[in-house]
Structure 1
Amino acid sequence: MKIDVPYGKDGSMSAVIGDDVKVSFLEANDVQIGDEDENINAAINNPINSKNFKEFLSDAKNVLVIVNDATRPTPTKKILEFIFDDLKQTHFNFIIATGAHRGPSQEEYLQIFGSYYEQIKDKIIVHDARVEEDMVFLGQSTNGTQMYVNKAGVKADKIIIISSVEPHYFAGYTGGRKSFLPGIAGYTTIEQNHKLALVPEARALALDGNPVHEDMIDAIKTVKQDIFSIMTVLDKHHNVYATCCGHINDSFHAAIDHANEVFAAPLKEKADIVVSVVKFPQDIDLYQAQKGIDNAKLALKKKGIMILVAKCRCGIGGKAFADLLGSSDTPEAALETIEKGYVLGYHKAAKMAEIGLWAQMWGVTDVKPDVISKLFIKPFSHLQTAIDLALKEKGRNASVLFLMDGGLTVPLIK
């Protein structure tokens, strides 16, 4: 059997596996895609617990549009086709909700905004969480997080959020409140919030009792301006499956139902070897591709082998998590360091180290072998080599599962 998997934006990798090996595939569920334009237009004109879009903008003086960075598959440029004519009648700015990520490259600006970039490039603010003078203090959350957000969000009298909702490995789901925290929050705020990811309740598909989510909701409560939320849910091919607009929390929760229909994938039993394929754009670096590791653990047997397939176009990504893992001799040592004091990025290291306690992590990436091997990930250049060695180690009777969109698909044992 020859198996092809995506690698990078337009590339692929393949491996041949003998017919005697038990191989299965798990990917996001197939859903019926209707007319995407009608889907988006109807949601914008019939929002949930909100004025429609034109009415929302009718008395606007200073509009801020919050959009995701290039690590998300959010169809921002597609949404602009439906709102830009009304938006350009107002005084507006865009802010890229980078959280603690870097700002976009020229190519990534075009990925986000498409042909609209030339018209709006002078109206784009790139959030930088580390610039303290750009932050405004809005209060303290129930969990004690100090709420600092970009002052651009305070100066605006109307806020539009364009985002997408899919599972997130410690916030439960992306979208909605995440545009503020971590999207346009200060570094200290993000660090305090992400420390809450260390508890078991912070996991994919979980909102009730999830302190990370609760913190984000508290952040939204500090925002006094009118918000018009545009939440999309994409299918496994990045087509628009559903759009939910209007009230920020109500549209978010409505989108969750659709996100579960796509990304919560039922699985009968765990496998000895799980190949987790992280697609573009989440394959930007290991920091983002780690989501494919965390989702894949849900489908992996104890003492199993997980093979991450992600190009990691920009290398490792977050420095803190890589430095921590790289300076630890064992996963246990990394977890002990985290217990002594939290630094932003350590939540990522903790999730990886916890898996390292009971399973092997291998990686087919473009990251240099001497770099990734320090992070408890055994490096490979080719999928075929990794598969062959995994089967040699686990035996020909081992089961192999390909998680075909590991960054977004959440396996659920039934």
Structure 2
Amino acid sequence: MRNREVPKYKQLALKIPYGQGYLVGELPEGIKVKEVVPSEIAGVPDPSADVRRALEQPIGNHGVEELRGVRQVVIVVSDLTRPVPNDVILPVLLEKLNAIGIKDEQVTILVGTGLHRPAPPEEFPLIVGPEVAARVKVISHDAYAPGILQQIGVSSRGTPIWINRHYLEADGRILIGMIDPHQFVGYTAGSKSLVIGCGGEATIRANHAHLVEPEATLGRIEGNPAREDIDEIGGLVGINLIINVILNSHKGIVRTVAGHYLAAHRAGVAVARQVSEVPVPALADVAIVSPGGFPKDINLYQAQKGLAHGTRLVKEGGVIILCAECREGAGEKGFIDTMQAGNTPEEVIKVFKQGEFQMGRHKAFLWCRSLVRARVILVSDGVDDNLARIMMVRKAPDLQAAINMALKELPDAEVVTVMPKANSTIPVF
């Protein structure tokens, strides 16, 4: 066993996203370092032209022309938690709708918030762009508002299908979203914008209960029960057209896909894989991980996604250094309450599986699944010592201290992998 008491820091200076800034640290000589980042694919030179191309060349013959003659169009968009360039997409889409005789007065934009808080009207110009907000009616989904939901059946997996009635009342139905890695649905967007974005709490809870199944995992589409349930429900409810974008790390549009809710989404996933899936030659002894800075590290609830992606990088029994500011602390009471239901990660997982599935509690299961595989050192100004104890992690005051702790625990460590944009990165072996 080598003794690395006082490392000489010469090899690599690190700069890790953290909140709206960065953490810095250095690694010693003799360590093999691998940085895992999304592929830097250039954005298209004219984003509006790319959206227009996608609408004029729809995949699966489900284009705007199919909406000719409808009475009312609903367009589902994401809330501010996703950087979808709606201000680029919507003007082109409205132009195409106007061209087939659909007036702005016949269009409603529905902000699909899922179980997030409803989007207030003052956020509408930020979500859809000020020009569009002034042109058409914009409303927000609210999964808990009386009378906002309507049940239309049950999926083959037993998921009750509760959907926003404004969506169901429209005879022209369009979804806009961005395709990004998702830790148990595989990839976001497609029919997820409807089923989760505009679904009821019972629908979302029943679908997300599939996350305990091994096939419900990061980057997997085929055979993934959570994704297949969502897509089945999308087909039962009805979707005329989707418009999905794939973005690079600078939020530039790499590709726009439009058309049939399954065919266009799968074509988009193929592009997203080129951006997000990064070959990694070997598992690391230590992984240094950031969700990607604010808002992805706004709280532990959100930062868990980065931890999950980072868990794929490290050997069993290795160390993950999670760098997450967490200015809002834990972020969800059910998450923390469930973490306190056991004294070990294994106990928390057992308690979760034995109880009724509830949103919030599922994050404790996902968090503890990482803790079973690796030890976690947290660098976070927003998490105090008591919260760190509840989360069953150790705290370090800064990145350099965390590196020193990890290398002291693993004196034979040879490989350190750094993933600074973990939420947008899928390591593949």
CA contact (8 A) 1:148 1:185 kept: yes
8 Å CA contact 1:287–1:318 kept in 2: the answer is yes
1:34-53 maps to which residues of 2 (within 5 A)? Answer: 34-37=44-47, 38-50=49-61, 52-53=63-64
Say which of 388, 407, 410 aligns to 1:391: 407
Q: 1:101-142 deviations in whole A, cap 9, x for unaligned?
A: 22347886555334347526x833222222352110111111
Q: Match for 2:333 among 319, 326, 329?
A: 319
Mapped contact 1:28–1:263 kept (Cα < 8 A): yes
User: Shift in Å at residue 282 of structure 1?
Assistant: 2.6
Residue of structure 1 in register with 2:222 after alignment: 208
Q: Tell me what 1:82 maps to.
A: 92
Q: CA separation of 1:96/1:380 partners in 2, compared to 1, >3 Å: closer, same or farther? A: farther
Moved more, 341-350 or 254-263: 341-350
Q: How does 1:263-342 map to 2 (within 5 A)?
A: 263-279=276-292, 280-341=294-355, 342=357
Is the 8 Å Cα contact of residues 62 and 260 (structure 2) preserved in structure 1?
no
Deviation of 1:371 after TM superposition, in Å, equals 2.3
- The structure 2 residue matched to 1:61, chosen from 31, 51, 71, is 71
Of 157, 165, 168, which aligns to 1:151?
Answer: 165
CA drift at 1:71:
2.2
1:304-355 CA-partner distances (Å, limit 9, x unpaired): 1112223334332333222101332211211121122122233322121122
Distance in 1 (alpha carbons) for counterparts of 2:381 and 2:29? 29
The correspondence for 2:192, drawn from 178, 184, 187, is 178
Deviation sequence 1:148-201 (CA, Å, 0-9, x none): 111111111111211011221101110101112211111011111111111111
Q: What CA distance in whole angstroms lies between the structure 2 residues aligned with 1:214 and 1:118?
A: 34
Distance 2:389 2:122 in 1: 30
SS at match of 2:240: strand
Match of 2:9 in 1: none
Most deviating of 90-99 and 182-191: 90-99
Question: Tell me, which stretches of 5 or more residues in structure 2 are unaligned?
Answer: 1-11
**Mean alpha-carbon deviation: is it higher for 206-215 or for 343-352?**
343-352
**Distance in 2 of aligned mates of 1:19 and 1:107:** 52
Q: Find out whether 1:405 has 2:421 as its counterpart.
A: yes
**Matched residue, 1:119:** 134
C-alpha RMSD over aligned residues: 2.3
In the alignment, what sits opposite 1:130? 144
Q: Match for residue 23 of structure 1?
A: 33
- Mapped to 2, the partners of 1:381 and 1:110 lie a distance apart of 39
Mapped to 2, the partners of 1:412 and 1:399 lie a distance apart of 17
Task: State how far apart, in whole Å, the 2-side matches of 1:375 and 1:218 are.
Answer: 36
TM-score (norm 1): 0.91
In the alignment, is the contact (CA less than 8 A) between 1:21 and 1:396 conserved in 2?
Answer: no
| C-alpha separation in 2, matches of 1:117 and 1:387 | 48
- Cα deviation per residue 1:184-243 (whole Å; 9 max; x = unaligned)? 11101111111111111100121222111121012112224x522101111222211111
1:94–1:314 Cα change, 3 Å: farther
Note if 1:231 corresponds to 2:230. Answer: no
The one-character-per-residue Cα deviations of 1:221-274 (angstroms, maximum 9, x if unpaired) are 2224x5221011112222111110011111101101101111111000011111
Give the total of aligned pairs: 409
Check 1:82–1:285 CA distance in 2 against 1; reply closer, same or farther (3 A cut): farther
The structure 1 residue matched to 2:253, chosen from 230, 240, 246, is 240
Q: Which residue of 2 aligns with 1:71?
A: 81
1:148–1:186 Cα contact (<8 Å) kept: yes
TM-score, normalised on structure 2?
0.88
**Higher deviation after alignment, 354-363 or 402-411:** 354-363
Structure 1 vs Structure 2: percent identity of aligned residues? 30
Aligned position for 1:95: 110
1:7 matched residue in structure 2: 18
Superposed displacement of residue 381, structure 1? 4.4
Provide the C-alpha distance between the structure 1 equivalents of 2:399 and 2:77, rounded to a whole number of angstroms.
35
Question: 3-state SS of the aligned residue for 1:43?
Answer: helix
Mapped to 1, the partners of 2:244 and 2:121 lie a distance apart of 25
Distance in 1 separating the partners of 2:389 and 2:87: 38
Instruction: Tell me which amino acid in the other structure corresponds to 2:93.
Output: I
Match of 1:262 in 2: 275
- Say whether the 8 Å CA contact 1:22–1:397 is kept in structure 2: no
Distance 1:250 1:24 in 2: 35
Q: Please, which moves more after superposition, 41-50 or 79-88?
A: 79-88
- What are the residue-to-residue correspondences of 1:335-350 with 2, within 5 Å? 335-341=349-355, 342-350=357-365
Whole-angstrom CA distance in 1 between matches of 2:122 and 2:401 = 33
Distance 1:229 1:349, change over 3 A: same
SS in 1 for 2:311: helix
